[in-house]
Chain A
Amino acid sequence: MHRRDFMKTATGLVAAGAFAQIGAIRQAAAAGSVKIGILIPMSGPAGLFGPSSKDCAELAVDQINAGGGVLGQKIEPIYVDAGGAPAGVTQSALKVWKGQGARVFIGMHDSAVRGALVNLFKGQVPYVYTPVYEGGACGKGLYAIGETPSQQLKPVIPWLASSKGASKWYLIGNDYNWPRDTNKAAKGYIAASHGTIVGEEYLPFAVDNFDSNLAKIKQTGANAVLVTLVGGASVGFNRAFASFGLSDSVLRLGTLIEENTLAGIGAQSSKNLFSSAGFFAAVDTPTVQAFDKKYADKFGPKAPALNTLGESCYDGLLFFDALAKKAGSLKVADLDSAADKGVSYDSPRGKLTYKKGEVASNIYLAEASGASFKIVKTFANVSSGATCA
């Protein structure tokens, strides 16, 4: 064969192959699959939440697909890094939505990014927001299922006041809406437990030097610190806090200190550190233990630590599956009316029901013991207090 002919034939073959492939993809799509954009942080200060979130989402995708998929359509997950600034994440989400044809979004990222995405989606695509948040996120096609301050703080602050003597609170968080709104709620609960606020500070994400904050905490004589710093900032703060010897006399409460953040903080810096959330891997209910086992079986002993944020991705997908089943469609209007009637789903946290923005679940207060959590108090069936009328 002449070289030129060879090239022609080869090109023809390659082209034919490519067409065949495109055909195959089309066919798969026609046979029924639904692309779901899964927005999780893979970089930035919240990057340490990424690996467990991805693994938990995979568990849910496998489980739902094994059962036939969402309304008979197999889920095709598209993972998107949501760890950057809102503008960048919006761009990535837009590409996945308009470019790759995602028809549903599951988001496990910060509230600032959620605000930007709500503006982008404008209720045209269903969007389940799964993590711990400040409450009151309502809108067309938006379903926030995570823990709120009225779950994580309302029962916990009085308990810490009476059992641990927390009375002089110092509030420190990153500078965006979640910490500010959480602290706004916290102030009410602290006042109700006869405590006082001795300081309140908000730091940019980039801050890695907490010397001046720690000096102020010492100076104000605070005996409790409410930490709403995120990921890497929380790790840095808590390590510096302990290195100054403050952990011996001052307790810390975090509403976003999950297992990976605690691992970053380390056993040597975790004395008197409390965390409240709707899920800890250490919770000994049968459903949590079963979930722990399923996770460990699939991802092995070296898997990223299971935690409330990662598990919330699993919940988000299961919730959406149940919601779509109830609505019988993926249209936002149908989903919204189904959500208003109430949708139940089987979470490792128990059987949960989402209705008009409200979810009630058990809340656990855990105390760090070395680099792992020990549940010290369970508050049963606490309402998220978030309602979307």
Chain B
Amino acid sequence: MEFFATYVLNFAFAFASMAFIVLGLAIAFGLLGVMNMAHGEFVAIGAYSVLVVQQAGLPFILAVPLAIVACAIVGALIEWLVIRHLYRRPFDTLLATWGIAILMRKGIEVAFGRSFRSVDPVMPGTIKAFGIDYPSYRVMLIVLVLAFFVALYLWYQRSNTGLRIKAMVQNPGLAAALGVDTSSLSRMTFIAGVVMAGIAGVLIAPLVKVAPLMGFDYLLNSFFILVVGGLGSIQGLLTGAAVISGGDTVLSSIFNQSAGYIGVLLISILFLWMRPNGICSDR
């Protein structure tokens, strides 16, 4: 029973962290048709923000505003220079952002070196959850992410901005004719996506290896989640994250990490083949 609880919590953590990391990519791809290959690098910017804040001797929480500012500036620059010319051309954005991703990785290498870094643990220690001791920081993260998704869902369903975004996604021409400033709305949506990636990077930084190449792994998993879950809805994103992290957790527990990775690849290939629009697709 005790071990079962460990596995359930491990799954919950994997699910929450993956769902939060993929959110920014889902926003850019699902809403704007921008396949942002530099998504992982924004996660890395978030993680390095923690390093910068801790090296300056400041509290961890200040990494959040730093990551927001850094990602928003870089995101705005990229949007203005490249992305705005390429909305709704997924393949072109894929190539362009892949180049940007390489540039960003090299930039991180120049600024922080090629070697990996680790940041100080935050909220060390464990708390009792479901009868077992589980790291407090992870429990906090699970709760935070779930609360955030509920809030996001409600906001998107009920707010005017959510309505405008939906209008823009469904028919950009008509939305513009009706007075929606689609270019500004697209820019804000793209920036919101990369800022979410940065915040995700801050939150996972105390638990992972912070390195210039770290973004790539998160990009891959994020794509698998979108392939399985389907684009354009929060439900799809959560379903995808559940399938991918669940498959990974179960297979890694029974066999090993390599089996988990192979399992995730197989699931993704099966979906691309049998159900290319994913589980929850409205198209």
Indicate if the CB atoms of B115 and A208 lie closer than 8 Å. no
B126 touches A240 (CB 8 A): no
B133 on the interface (CB 8 Å rule)?
A: yes
> 1/0 contact trace for B122-142 toward A, CB 8 Å?
001110000001110110000
| Cβ-closest chain B residue relative to A41 | B115
Contacts of A236 in B (CB 8 A): 118, 208-209
**Segment of A89-97, A262-270, A354-362 in the binding face:** A262-270
Contacts of A266 in B (CB 8 A): 118, 120-121
Separation of A259 and B182 alpha carbons in the complex (Å): 55
Per the bound structure, the CA–CA distance linking A211 and B10 in Å amounts to: 7
Contacting pair B209 A232 (CB below 8 A)? yes
Q: Which residues on A sit within 8 Å (CB–CB) of B253?
A: 212, 215-216
- B217–A206 contact, CB under 8 A? yes
Whether the pair A269, B121 counts as a contact (CB closer than 8 A) is: yes
Q: Provide the residues of chain A in CB contact with B126, threshold 8 Å.
A: 243-245
A137 within 8 A of B: no
Residues of A within 8 A of B257 (CB): 203-204, 207, 209, 212-213
Query: Which A residues are in CB contact (< 8 Å) with B120?
Result: 266, 268
Q: Is A117 an interface residue (CB 8 A)?
A: no
A264 to B210, CA, bound (A): 11
Given contacts A208-B217, A266-B118, contact A244 B249 (CB under 8 A): no
Write out the residue numbers on chain B whose beta carbons fall within 8 Å of the beta carbon of A208: 208-209, 217
For A346, what are the chain B residues with a Cβ–Cβ distance below 8 Å? none
- Within the complex, what minimum Cβ distance (angstroms) separates A213 from chain B? 8
Interface residues of chain A, those whose CB is within 8 Å of chain B, are 42-43, 45, 47-48, 50, 201, 203-204, 206-209, 211-213, 215-216, 218-219, 231-232, 235-236, 239-240, 242-245, 264-266, 268-269
In the docked arrangement, what's the CA distance between A219 and B253, Å? 11
Extra contacts, 18 of them, besides A218-B6, A235-B116, A266-B118 (Cβ < 8 A), are A48-B116, A208-B208, A208-B217, A209-B252, A209-B257, A212-B10, A212-B256, A213-B257, A215-B10, A215-B253, A216-B253, A232-B209, A235-B209, A236-B208, A239-B118, A245-B125, A245-B126, A268-B121
Most buried by B among A42, A201, A211: A211
> What residues on B are CB-neighbors of A209 within 8 Å?
14, 252, 257
Out of A201, A211, A219, A239, name the residue touching B3 (CB < 8 Å). Answer: A219
Chain B residue with the shortest CB-CB distance to A268: B124
Cβ A204 vs Cβ B258 within 8 A: yes
CB-CB contacts below 8 Å: B216-263 with A: 217, 249, 252-253, 256-258, 260
CA distance A268 to B6 in the complex (A): 22
B residues within 8 Å of A by Cβ? 3, 6-7, 10, 13-14, 114-116, 118, 120-121, 124-126, 133-135, 137-138, 207-209, 211, 217, 249, 252-253, 256-258, 260
Smallest Cβ-Cβ distance to B109: which chain A residue: A43
Q: Which of B6, B252, B257 is packed against the most chain A CB atoms within 10 Å?
A: B257
| Residue pair A243, B135 in contact (C-beta under 8 Å) | yes
In the complex, the chain A residue whose C-beta lies closest to that of B136 is: A243
With contacts A207-B257, A240-B207, A268-B124 known, is A212 near B249, CB below 8 A? yes
Beyond A47-B115, A207-B257, A209-B257, whether A215 also contacts B121 by CB under 8 A is: no
* A218→B4 CA distance, assembly (Å): 12
User: CA of A58 to CA of B135 in the docked complex: distance in angstroms?
Assistant: 43
Asked if residues B260 and A212 are in contact (CB atoms below 8 Å), the reply is yes
Could you tell me the distance between the alpha carbons of A253 and B92 in the complex, rounded to whole angstroms?
A: 51
Q: How far is the CA of A72 from the CA of B33 in the complex (A)?
A: 67
Cα(A45)–Cα(B118), bound, Å: 12
**Interchain CA distance A255-B234 in the complex, whole Å:** 47
Contacts of A207 in B (CB 8 A): 257
Tell me, in angstroms, the Cα distance from A208 to B210 when the chains sit together.
Answer: 10
Residue from A201, A212, A219 with most neighbouring chain B CB atoms (10 Å): A212
Chain A residue nearest to B125 in the complex (CB): A245
Task: Tell me if A47 and B14 are in contact (CB < 8 A).
Answer: no
How far is A39 from B280 in the complex, measured between Cα atoms in Å?
A: 52
Q: Which 9 A-B pairs have the closest CB atoms?
A: A47-B115, A212-B252, A243-B135, A245-B126, A43-B114, A211-B10, A232-B116, A245-B133, A212-B253
Question: Which residue in chain A gives the minimum CB-CB distance to B250?
Answer: A212
Contact of A244 among B118, B135, B209, B252 (CB under 8 A): B135
Instruction: Return chain B residues, CB-CB under 8 Å to A265.
Output: 118
Is the pair A43, B6 in contact by a Cβ cutoff of 8 Å? no
Let me know if A264 and B118 touch, CB within 8 A: yes
- Cβ–Cβ < 8 Å partners of B116 in chain A: 45, 47-48, 231-232, 235
> With A and B bound together, what is the CA distance between A203 and B258 in angstroms?
8
Complex CA gap A209/B18 in Å reads 12
CB distance from B206 to the nearest CB of A (A): 9
Expressed in whole angstroms, the Cα–Cα distance for A263 and B176 within the complex equals 56
